Amino acid sequence: MRTTGPARRLTIFVGESDQFHHHPLYTEIVHRAHRAGLAGATVMRGIEGFGASSHIHTTRILSLSQDLPVAIVIVDERERIDAFLPQLDELVTEGLVIIDDVEVIRYVGRKP
């Protein structure tokens, strides 16, 4: 990915307990993004939320949820994100997938 300039942000919202072949779905998405050579991926666990089912999932002590919301965020060049989308058709059977055009201000990796 270029260090600055226009890019795309792919965000996938799924449940923490969603599985793909007995593994967490978010793990499969991150590993496939890595194999596809995408610039990076981050998984963020939500503390509360609801989706299409309208059922609220929360970490509050009196109503601990086993299926908290999870967001996987991937940013890369438009062409690379677009090429990755067909894999999500196979993986995401329930959830939300969104794409935003973004501007990368700085992208610097750690030095070895």
Backbone angles phi, psi at 81, to 5 degrees: -65, -45
Residue 99: inside a domain, yes or no? yes
112 occurs within a structural domain? no
Is residue 29, in this structure, part of any structural domain at all? yes
Tell me how many domains the chain contains.
1
Closest CA to 64 of 102, 27, 29, 17: 17
Strands (E), 1-112: 5-15, 19-20, 23-24, 41-45, 48-49, 57-58, 69-76, 96-104
For residue range 26-76, list pLDDT tens digits in order: 999 999 999 999 999 999 998 777 766 666 666 655 555 567 889 999 999
Q: Show the domain range for 61.
A: 5-104
Residue 9 belongs to a domain = yes
The verdict on residue 17 lying in a domain is yes
Question: CB count, 10 Å around CB of 75?
Answer: 21
> Domain for residue 87, yes or no?
yes
pLDDT at 44: 96
The reply to whether 56 falls in a domain is: yes
pLDDT of residue 12 exceeding 90, the answer is: yes
CATH classification of the domain holding 23: 3.30.70.120
Nearest C-alpha neighbor of 55 from the set 65, 46, 45: 65
Give the pLDDT score at 61: 56
In a domain, 110, yes or no: no
